[in-house]
Chains A and B, each alone.
Chain A
Amino acid sequence: MSGPYPQMLLKHRKPDRITTLAEYRQAGGYEALHRVLTSEDAAAVKAQLADAVLLGRGGAGFPAGIKVQTVAEDAPFPRYVVCNADEMEPGTFKDRVFLHAEPHMLIEGMVLAAFSIRAAHGIIFIRPEYESAARILEREIGIAHREGLLGDGIFGSEFSFDIDVHRSGGRYICGEVTAQINALQGIRPNPKQPPPYATDKGLWGQPTLVNNVETLACIPHIVNKGAQWFKDLALSPEAAGTKLFCISGKVNKPGCHELPLGIKLSEIIEDFCGGMKDGATFKGCLPGGASTGFLTADHYHIAMDFEALKKVGNRLGTGAIMVFDHHTCMVDVTINLTEFFARESCGWCTPCREGFPYLLDLLRRIEKGQGEADFLSMIKTMCRHLWKSYCAFAPGGVASIESLIVNFEDEVMAHIEGKGCPFKK
C-alpha cells in the first residue's frame, strides 16, 4: 500500500454522517474565515488563490485565482457567488461524497470566495438527484446562520453574506456556466457564448463567480496553510493540491478517494480500488468523465494531473476514472457515451443537435456489423464539425469518439472487417 497521503477535504470523513459544525470548528474550521474577516484583507485571499495555482475541479481546470481576479475592483454591486453542485458528468460522484461529509467546508469556502469579491449573495445550484445533499446543506446553512457564520456582520465584521440552495429541474447542460446562469434566472438553460463572461455580467447582469464544490472547498485550506503548502500536496512539480478521484467500472472496489494530483493511474487502481475486478486485464479508462478521451494500457502508469494528461492529448476533467477490462467492447462503450450526448444536447445549435445522432448511427452500424471502412473518415469529419458548436458540450462529447478512432482503431476495424462485434461471438 502506498501513501498514506495527506488528506485535506476528506480527512474527517465518516461512514454514515456529516462532520457537524462543532466537529468542524474543533478541527480548525472557520478559523481561516475568522482571520480573513478580522484582517479585512480581501486582496490577500485573491493573491493566495493565484499563488496556489488552484485549477477548477469541476472539469474545465480554469485557474480559480485568475477567475476571482477578473471581477473588477470597480465592478457594480450586487455581486454573486454560485457554487456549481450540478455534478452531472457521467462517472462523477465526488461532490456527492464530499457534500455528505463536509458541508461546512463548502460554506466556509463560499464565504471566503464571496469576501474576496465582496459578494453579498450566494447560491448553491444542485442537481435534483442529490436531494439528500440539498437538505443537508439547507439545514447546515441554517445552523451557520444561527452561529453568526452567515448572515449580517459575520464574526462581528462589516461583511454580510447569505446562501440559498437552488434545486435544478435536472439536465446535464445546466452544469455549463452560462446555461446555469440562465437556469437560475428561470430561463431555458441554453448556453450563451461569452463575452460577456459571468464574472463581468452573470446572474441578473451582475458580476458572478461560478465555482465547483471541490474548488471552493479547497479555499479555507489554502488560506489557512498557504499556497506553497497546497502546491506541495501534489506529487508532480507542476501540479498543486489533492484531487477527489471517483473510480468506477471494472475494479474490485469502486469509490471516491482524495489523492495527490500526479499520483499514478496504476497506483489508484491497484492500491485504492483493490485492482481489476475478478483478475481481469486493464484495457483502458476514461480519466475524467464522459467528456474526456480514452486512455489505453500504454497509459497505465500515467501521472493523474492536468499537465500529464494534456501532454497525451487528454484532460483530467472531473477526475472520474471509469475503468474497462479486456472483455469490454470499446465501440459499445462509445455508443453508450454518444447516446448520452445525443439525448442531453440542449438542441440550441445545429452541429450538436444533428451531429450526435449522425455519429450514433454510424457507431451503431459498426457495432452491428454493417460498418464500412470509409465510416472512419466520415466520423472524423463530423467530429471536426462538432468542434464548431456553440459551447464546450459537443467538443467534450466527441472526445471519446475521436480517441476511439485513434487509440482503438484496430478494434473498430475488427468490427468492420469481421462484420460484427468480436466480443459478442
Chain B
Amino acid sequence: MLPESLKNELQQKIDRVAHPREMAIDVINALQDHYGYFSDEALEQAADLLGMTPLELDELATFYTFIYREPVGKYVIHVCDSLICWMENGEDLVAHLCNRLDIRMGETTADGLFTLLPVCCIGYCDRAPAILVNRMVHGPLTTDALDNLIDKLREAST
C-alpha cells in the first residue's frame, strides 16, 4: 500500500504542472524508491495518479534503463560495458563480480542484496572501468577495489 503522505505529496506535485503526464518519470521513481522496484501494484497506482492507463505508463516504464519492473536487490550495480570501460578490462571486472556474488548478469543474490545489470556508457570514461551502485559512480576500479566496495556494502546492510 502506498502511504497517504507519499500519495498526497505526489498528487500535489502533479497538481502544480499543466500536464500531469509530464511528471510520469518522477512519479515512477518515487514509487520505485518506495517499493524497491516498479511493481504491478505501483504501476496501477502511478497510472491512477497521473490519469494515464496502466498500459500507457508501462510503455514508458519498460523503455528506460533505470526503471525496474522486476524485483531488484538493495544495491543495484550497473556495470558499464561500453567502449572505454570495456577496453580497460571491464569484462574481467564483470567476471570477477559474477564470481564474487555467485550470480550471472541480470540476476539478484539470494540474500536480496545485490543485482547485477549492464549499462551503456555512463559518462565516466576518464575513470574507467566504472560502475554505478544505486546511481553513485565508482571508478577507476581494480578487482581489489571492487572487493572492498562489496565488503563495505555488505557490512553497511548488516
Chain A contact residues, CB within 8 Å of chain B:
87-93, 95-96, 127-131, 166-172, 183-189, 204, 246, 248-250, 254-256, 290, 320, 322, 328, 333, 336-337, 339-340, 343-344, 346
> Are B120 and A88 touching (Cβ within 8 A)?
yes
Bound complex: CA A250 to CA B19 (Å): 47
> Are A340 and B120 touching (Cβ within 8 A)?
yes
Q: How many residues of B contact A (CB 8 A)?
A: 38
Contacts A168-B25, A169-B66, A290-B83 aside, 5 further interface pairs with beta carbons under 8 A come to A88-B120, A90-B83, A185-B22, A188-B60, A249-B83
A328-B60 contact in complex given A171-B65, A248-B128, A340-B120, C-beta closer than 8 Å: no
Q: Does B28 contact A (CB under 8 A)?
A: yes
Shortest CB distance A167–B (Å): 7
Shortest CB distance A333–B (Å): 7
Shortest CB distance A127–B (Å): 7
Bound complex: CA A174 to CA B23 (Å): 16
Bound complex: CA A354 to CA B54 (Å): 28
> Are B22 and A249 touching (Cβ within 8 A)?
no
Q: Does B121 contact A (CB under 8 A)?
A: yes
Bound complex: CA A168 to CA B123 (Å): 15
The 9 closest A-B pairs by CB, nearest first: A169-B64, A186-B21, A186-B24, A248-B125, A90-B121, A170-B65, A170-B66, A254-B126, A93-B123
Chain B contact residues, CB within 8 Å of chain A:
18-19, 21-26, 28-29, 50, 52, 59-60, 63-67, 81-84, 86-87, 119-126, 128, 132, 135-137
> Are A93 and B63 touching (Cβ within 8 A)?
no
Nearest-CB residue, chain B, relative to A347: B63
> Are A248 and B60 touching (Cβ within 8 A)?
no
Nearest-CB residue, chain A, relative to B29: A167
Bound complex: CA A93 to CA B83 (Å): 13
> Are B125 and A93 touching (Cβ within 8 A)?
yes
> Are A336 and B83 touching (Cβ within 8 A)?
yes
Which residues of B sit under 8 angstroms from A337, Cβ to Cβ? 83
Which residues of A sit under 8 angstroms from B123, Cβ to Cβ? 87-88, 92-93, 95-96, 127, 129-130
Bound complex: CA A344 to CA B126 (Å): 22
Which residues of A sit under 8 angstroms from B121, Cβ to Cβ? 88-92, 290, 340
